Every structure is written in structure tokens, then in C-alpha cells.
Amino acid sequence: MNTPDNLLYSKDHEWVSVQGGAARVGITDYAQDALGDVVYVDLPRVGDQVEAGSSFSEVESTKSVSELYAPVSGTITEVNDELADTPERVNEDPYGEGWIVLIEMSSPVELDALLDGGAYGALIES
């Protein structure tokens, strides 16, 4: 499984790319592989408030529906509207074009609770 070292990861299989005071969030390569073909992403609205560990969206695949959990608290400032028409981008490019939301973090210290690439790799191997 692909686990880039420049990202942080939640135990719920979301990745985070820190961009100043914001966190770009998507699901990991491991998660998209486990889900199978993604057919729908329930996108939250810009302006929605999220809390770390709370559900903010769902991803539906040919196998199941899975909730997504916010890895950090804050305000959603951007959503990947492209996923409405092309949800398969989550499968094709989970760390790039398959990103889901951008969250303006209210408590960047929450990043300390996330895993680095090595720790996440160990988690998915166990």
C-alpha cells in the first residue's frame, strides 16, 4: 500500500496534508482499496464545522458505505466538487485528485495525535 511520508494519517484511514493553518483531507490508499469501486461521495458543505473524531461525510462503494471522520477540528473551507461527477478519483488518485475537503484548523495541536507514514504502515500491516 502507498503511504507517502509527507502526510499524516488517522487510525480511521484518513490522510492529512498540512498547508499552513489548513488540512487537506482524503482517504488512504488502504481505505479505497478495502472499499472497492467508489460510486458516490457525500460531500459536506463549505462552512460546516467539524470536530476531530466526528463523522463529516460518507463514501459509498460497490461493496459498502463508510463514514469519514474528521482528523482535525475546524471549518470546512473547500470541498472537492469534482467528486460529485467523478467519484472514482478517490480510487484512481487517493492522495491527489481524490482529496475530499480542506479544513481550516481551529486547534492545530490535534495534528500531534495523528500517525506518520511509518506508524500508519505498521497499523495497516497488523
pLDDT digits (tens, 9 = 90+) for 110-126: 999 999 999 999 999 98
Q: Which amino acid is at 14?
A: E
Residue ranges per structural domain of the chain: 8-108
CATH of domain 8-108: 2.40.50.100
Q: Which whole-number Å values give the CA distances from 87 to 3, 11, 60, 107, 122, in the listed order?
A: 21, 23, 9, 30, 28
What is the chain's pLDDT, residue by residue, as a tens digit (126 residues)? Answer: 789 999 999 999 999 999 999 999 999 999 999 999 999 999 999 999 999 999 999 999 998 999 999 999 999 999 999 999 999 999 999 999 999 999 999 999 999 999 999 999 999 998
Q: Where are the beta strands (DSSP E) in 1-126?
A: 8-9, 14-19, 22-27, 38-42, 49-50, 55-61, 65-69, 74-79, 101-105
